[in-house]
Amino acid sequence: MKNQSNKIVQKHEAKDLPSALQDIPNLINGKKPAVFLDYDGCLSPIVKDPENAVMTEEMRDTLKRLANVCSVAVVSGRDRANVEKLVQLDNLYYAGSHGFDISGPNNMHTEPGGASEAVPALDKAQKTLDDRLKEVEGVLVERKRYAIAVHYRNVADDQVNKVLQVTDEVIGQHPELKKGPGKKVMELKPNLDWHKGKAVRWLIEELDLNKPDIVPLYIGDDLTDEDAFATLQGEGIGIMVGEHDEKTAAEYRLEDVEDVQAFLETLTQTIRRQQNV
Protein backbone atom coordinates (compact mmCIF):
# COMPACT_ATOMS: atom_id res chain seq x y z
CA MET A 1 0.00 0.00 0.00
CA LYS A 2 1.10 3.56 -0.57
CA ASN A 3 2.82 5.78 1.95
CA GLN A 4 -0.03 7.64 3.63
CA SER A 5 1.90 10.01 5.91
CA ASN A 6 0.58 13.07 4.07
CA LYS A 7 -2.89 11.76 3.26
CA ILE A 8 -5.82 14.00 4.16
CA VAL A 9 -8.43 11.85 5.90
CA GLN A 10 -12.07 12.75 5.29
CA LYS A 11 -14.43 12.48 8.30
CA HIS A 12 -18.20 12.09 8.27
CA GLU A 13 -21.15 11.83 10.62
CA ALA A 14 -21.92 8.12 10.86
CA LYS A 15 -25.67 8.71 10.54
CA ASP A 16 -25.14 10.38 7.15
CA LEU A 17 -23.27 7.47 5.57
CA PRO A 18 -24.94 5.23 2.97
CA SER A 19 -25.83 1.65 3.89
CA ALA A 20 -23.18 -0.89 2.93
CA LEU A 21 -25.86 -3.60 2.84
CA GLN A 22 -27.82 -1.81 0.13
CA ASP A 23 -24.83 -1.01 -2.08
CA ILE A 24 -22.64 -4.14 -2.23
CA PRO A 25 -22.26 -4.28 -6.05
CA ASN A 26 -21.03 -0.68 -6.25
CA LEU A 27 -19.02 -1.05 -3.06
CA ILE A 28 -16.82 -3.85 -4.40
CA ASN A 29 -17.18 -2.81 -8.07
CA GLY A 30 -16.49 -6.25 -9.50
CA LYS A 31 -13.36 -6.77 -7.40
CA LYS A 32 -12.66 -9.54 -4.91
CA PRO A 33 -12.88 -8.27 -1.32
CA ALA A 34 -10.49 -8.97 1.52
CA VAL A 35 -12.46 -8.56 4.74
CA PHE A 36 -11.07 -7.23 8.03
CA LEU A 37 -13.41 -6.73 10.98
CA ASP A 38 -13.52 -6.11 14.70
CA TYR A 39 -15.06 -8.68 17.06
CA ASP A 40 -16.97 -6.81 19.78
CA GLY A 41 -19.82 -4.79 18.31
CA CYS A 42 -19.44 -6.41 14.89
CA LEU A 43 -19.44 -10.19 15.27
CA SER A 44 -20.94 -10.07 18.76
CA PRO A 45 -23.07 -7.40 20.46
CA ILE A 46 -21.49 -5.16 23.09
CA VAL A 47 -22.35 -6.58 26.54
CA LYS A 48 -21.70 -5.54 30.13
CA ASP A 49 -19.23 -8.37 30.76
CA PRO A 50 -16.68 -8.87 27.93
CA GLU A 51 -16.54 -12.59 28.75
CA ASN A 52 -20.19 -12.90 27.71
CA ALA A 53 -19.63 -11.48 24.22
CA VAL A 54 -20.44 -14.74 22.44
CA MET A 55 -20.84 -15.05 18.70
CA THR A 56 -23.89 -16.96 17.47
CA GLU A 57 -23.52 -20.20 15.53
CA GLU A 58 -25.27 -18.51 12.61
CA MET A 59 -22.64 -15.76 12.54
CA ARG A 60 -19.86 -18.35 12.80
CA ASP A 61 -21.31 -20.27 9.83
CA THR A 62 -21.56 -17.04 7.83
CA LEU A 63 -17.96 -16.13 8.62
CA LYS A 64 -16.75 -19.60 7.71
CA ARG A 65 -18.46 -19.49 4.32
CA LEU A 66 -17.01 -16.05 3.63
CA ALA A 67 -13.49 -17.22 4.53
CA ASN A 68 -13.87 -20.02 1.97
CA VAL A 69 -14.14 -17.47 -0.86
CA CYS A 70 -11.88 -14.60 0.28
CA SER A 71 -9.32 -13.62 2.92
CA VAL A 72 -10.87 -12.76 6.31
CA ALA A 73 -9.13 -11.35 9.38
CA VAL A 74 -10.51 -10.47 12.82
CA VAL A 75 -8.71 -7.39 14.18
CA SER A 76 -9.45 -6.93 17.86
CA GLY A 77 -8.32 -5.21 21.00
CA ARG A 78 -8.76 -8.55 22.74
CA ASP A 79 -5.83 -10.90 23.23
CA ARG A 80 -5.26 -12.86 20.08
CA ALA A 81 -5.71 -16.22 21.86
CA ASN A 82 -8.97 -15.00 23.39
CA VAL A 83 -10.51 -13.89 20.11
CA GLU A 84 -9.39 -17.13 18.43
CA LYS A 85 -11.18 -19.07 21.17
CA LEU A 86 -14.34 -17.01 20.70
CA VAL A 87 -14.44 -17.33 16.89
CA GLN A 88 -13.29 -20.97 16.65
CA LEU A 89 -12.43 -20.93 12.94
CA ASP A 90 -9.02 -22.02 11.65
CA ASN A 91 -9.30 -20.54 8.15
CA LEU A 92 -9.19 -16.93 9.40
CA TYR A 93 -6.37 -14.57 10.36
CA TYR A 94 -6.38 -13.05 13.85
CA ALA A 95 -4.79 -9.78 14.87
CA GLY A 96 -5.11 -9.41 18.64
CA SER A 97 -4.05 -6.63 21.02
CA HIS A 98 -4.85 -4.02 18.34
CA GLY A 99 -2.58 -5.82 15.89
CA PHE A 100 0.48 -6.42 18.06
CA ASP A 101 -0.06 -10.21 17.94
CA ILE A 102 -1.03 -11.84 14.62
CA SER A 103 -1.69 -15.47 13.68
CA GLY A 104 -3.25 -17.36 10.80
CA PRO A 105 -3.31 -20.47 8.63
CA ASN A 106 -0.09 -22.32 7.77
CA ASN A 107 1.35 -21.68 11.25
CA MET A 108 1.56 -17.93 10.86
CA HIS A 109 2.42 -16.23 14.14
CA THR A 110 4.19 -12.90 14.46
CA GLU A 111 4.32 -9.86 16.72
CA PRO A 112 5.22 -7.07 14.28
CA GLY A 113 4.67 -4.04 16.52
CA GLY A 114 7.38 -4.62 19.15
CA ALA A 115 4.95 -4.52 22.09
CA SER A 116 6.99 -6.82 24.33
CA GLU A 117 9.06 -3.79 25.36
CA ALA A 118 6.05 -2.40 27.23
CA VAL A 119 5.25 -5.51 29.33
CA PRO A 120 7.13 -4.39 32.51
CA ALA A 121 5.30 -1.04 32.47
CA LEU A 122 1.97 -2.84 31.96
CA ASP A 123 2.71 -5.10 34.92
CA LYS A 124 3.38 -2.11 37.19
CA ALA A 125 0.38 -0.16 35.91
CA GLN A 126 -1.93 -3.12 36.50
CA LYS A 127 -0.90 -3.36 40.16
CA THR A 128 -1.45 0.37 40.67
CA LEU A 129 -4.86 0.35 38.97
CA ASP A 130 -6.00 -2.71 40.93
CA ASP A 131 -5.05 -0.98 44.16
CA ARG A 132 -6.44 2.49 43.43
CA LEU A 133 -9.72 1.34 41.84
CA LYS A 134 -10.56 -1.59 44.10
CA GLU A 135 -13.17 0.43 45.99
CA VAL A 136 -15.03 1.57 42.85
CA GLU A 137 -18.06 -0.64 42.36
CA GLY A 138 -18.57 -1.94 38.83
CA VAL A 139 -15.11 -1.13 37.47
CA LEU A 140 -13.25 -3.92 35.66
CA VAL A 141 -9.48 -3.76 35.18
CA GLU A 142 -8.89 -6.32 32.44
CA ARG A 143 -5.27 -7.29 31.81
CA LYS A 144 -4.46 -8.40 28.31
CA ARG A 145 -1.13 -9.53 26.97
CA TYR A 146 -0.19 -6.14 25.56
CA ALA A 147 -2.79 -3.82 27.07
CA ILE A 148 -4.92 -3.05 30.11
CA ALA A 149 -8.60 -2.23 29.59
CA VAL A 150 -10.31 -0.25 32.33
CA HIS A 151 -14.04 -0.86 31.78
CA TYR A 152 -16.46 1.60 33.38
CA ARG A 153 -19.74 0.63 31.66
CA ASN A 154 -21.09 -0.65 34.99
CA VAL A 155 -19.72 2.21 37.14
CA ALA A 156 -22.11 4.75 38.68
CA ASP A 157 -22.11 8.10 36.84
CA ASP A 158 -20.70 9.97 39.82
CA GLN A 159 -17.69 7.61 39.94
CA VAL A 160 -16.75 7.65 36.24
CA ASN A 161 -14.59 10.78 36.52
CA LYS A 162 -12.59 9.16 39.31
CA VAL A 163 -11.94 6.10 37.17
CA LEU A 164 -10.79 8.23 34.23
CA GLN A 165 -8.66 10.47 36.43
CA VAL A 166 -6.88 7.57 38.10
CA THR A 167 -6.31 5.91 34.72
CA ASP A 168 -4.86 9.14 33.29
CA GLU A 169 -2.55 9.48 36.27
CA VAL A 170 -1.27 5.94 35.93
CA ILE A 171 -0.64 6.40 32.21
CA GLY A 172 1.29 9.57 33.05
CA GLN A 173 3.57 7.56 35.35
CA HIS A 174 4.67 5.29 32.50
CA PRO A 175 6.05 6.91 29.32
CA GLU A 176 6.10 3.43 27.76
CA LEU A 177 2.28 3.53 27.67
CA LYS A 178 -0.37 5.64 25.95
CA LYS A 179 -4.11 6.15 26.22
CA GLY A 180 -6.57 4.30 24.02
CA PRO A 181 -10.17 5.48 24.44
CA GLY A 182 -13.16 3.35 23.46
CA LYS A 183 -16.83 2.80 24.25
CA LYS A 184 -17.06 2.95 28.06
CA VAL A 185 -13.46 1.74 28.30
CA MET A 186 -10.05 3.36 28.60
CA GLU A 187 -7.08 1.29 27.52
CA LEU A 188 -3.42 1.52 28.40
CA LYS A 189 -1.47 0.47 25.32
CA PRO A 190 2.21 0.35 24.36
CA ASN A 191 3.38 3.83 23.35
CA LEU A 192 4.46 2.66 19.92
CA ASP A 193 3.58 3.71 16.40
CA TRP A 194 1.36 0.70 15.79
CA HIS A 195 -2.42 0.32 15.64
CA LYS A 196 -5.19 -1.56 13.86
CA GLY A 197 -4.58 0.34 10.63
CA LYS A 198 -0.92 -0.66 10.53
CA ALA A 199 -1.86 -4.26 11.32
CA VAL A 200 -4.28 -4.26 8.39
CA ARG A 201 -1.62 -2.79 6.12
CA TRP A 202 0.88 -5.43 7.30
CA LEU A 203 -1.60 -8.23 6.55
CA ILE A 204 -2.39 -6.81 3.11
CA GLU A 205 1.29 -6.86 2.20
CA GLU A 206 2.01 -10.23 3.85
CA LEU A 207 -0.95 -11.96 2.17
CA ASP A 208 -0.22 -10.37 -1.23
CA LEU A 209 -3.59 -8.61 -1.29
CA ASN A 210 -2.22 -5.33 -2.65
CA LYS A 211 -3.57 -5.92 -6.15
CA PRO A 212 -5.80 -3.90 -8.50
CA ASP A 213 -8.49 -6.61 -8.52
CA ILE A 214 -8.76 -6.83 -4.70
CA VAL A 215 -10.58 -4.33 -2.49
CA PRO A 216 -9.92 -4.36 1.28
CA LEU A 217 -12.99 -3.84 3.48
CA TYR A 218 -12.76 -2.96 7.17
CA ILE A 219 -15.81 -3.28 9.43
CA GLY A 220 -15.60 -1.70 12.89
CA ASP A 221 -17.70 0.03 15.51
CA ASP A 222 -15.30 1.76 17.91
CA LEU A 223 -12.84 4.64 18.10
CA THR A 224 -9.97 2.15 17.89
CA ASP A 225 -11.19 1.17 14.41
CA GLU A 226 -10.74 4.70 13.08
CA ASP A 227 -7.05 4.06 12.37
CA ALA A 228 -8.05 1.24 10.03
CA PHE A 229 -10.74 3.35 8.35
CA ALA A 230 -8.21 6.12 7.79
CA THR A 231 -5.58 3.70 6.49
CA LEU A 232 -7.94 2.32 3.84
CA GLN A 233 -9.40 5.61 2.63
CA GLY A 234 -8.76 5.87 -1.11
CA GLU A 235 -7.56 2.27 -1.36
CA GLY A 236 -10.31 0.28 0.32
CA ILE A 237 -13.64 0.72 2.10
CA GLY A 238 -14.34 1.48 5.76
CA ILE A 239 -17.72 0.41 7.15
CA MET A 240 -18.93 1.79 10.49
CA VAL A 241 -21.27 -0.33 12.63
CA GLY A 242 -23.66 1.90 14.57
CA GLU A 243 -21.86 5.06 15.71
CA HIS A 244 -19.56 6.43 18.39
CA ASP A 245 -19.03 9.90 19.86
CA GLU A 246 -16.92 11.35 17.05
CA LYS A 247 -16.96 11.73 13.27
CA THR A 248 -15.73 8.71 11.36
CA ALA A 249 -13.32 8.06 8.50
CA ALA A 250 -15.60 5.23 7.31
CA GLU A 251 -17.49 5.66 4.04
CA TYR A 252 -20.40 3.29 4.62
CA ARG A 253 -22.33 2.09 7.64
CA LEU A 254 -24.24 -0.87 9.02
CA GLU A 255 -26.78 -0.55 11.82
CA ASP A 256 -25.87 -3.45 14.11
CA VAL A 257 -24.52 -7.00 14.40
CA GLU A 258 -27.55 -8.40 12.54
CA ASP A 259 -26.79 -6.01 9.69
CA VAL A 260 -23.17 -7.18 9.70
CA GLN A 261 -24.24 -10.80 9.33
CA ALA A 262 -26.63 -9.95 6.49
CA PHE A 263 -23.85 -7.96 4.79
CA LEU A 264 -21.32 -10.81 5.10
CA GLU A 265 -23.88 -13.34 3.84
CA THR A 266 -24.78 -11.22 0.81
CA LEU A 267 -21.10 -10.48 0.17
CA THR A 268 -20.35 -14.22 0.10
CA GLN A 269 -23.12 -14.81 -2.44
CA THR A 270 -21.90 -11.90 -4.56
CA ILE A 271 -18.34 -13.26 -4.64
CA ARG A 272 -19.58 -16.69 -5.65
CA ARG A 273 -21.62 -15.22 -8.50
CA GLN A 274 -18.56 -13.29 -9.69
CA GLN A 275 -16.44 -16.42 -9.59
CA ASN A 276 -18.95 -18.34 -11.68
CA VAL A 277 -19.09 -15.72 -14.43
pLDDT tens string 43-56: 999 888 888 889 99
Contact 45, 52 (CB under 8 A): no
- Residue spans of the chain under pLDDT 50: 1-3
38 included as an active-site residue: yes
Contact 174, 125 (CB under 8 A): yes
| pLDDT on residue 1 | 43
Domains and their CATH numbers in the chain: 14-113+194-276 (3.40.50.1000), 115-190 (3.30.70.1020)
Set 16, 38, 101, 158: catalytic member: 38
Note the pTM of the prediction, 2 decimals. Answer: 0.86
Contact 77, 149 (CB under 8 A): yes
| pLDDT on residue 49 | 81
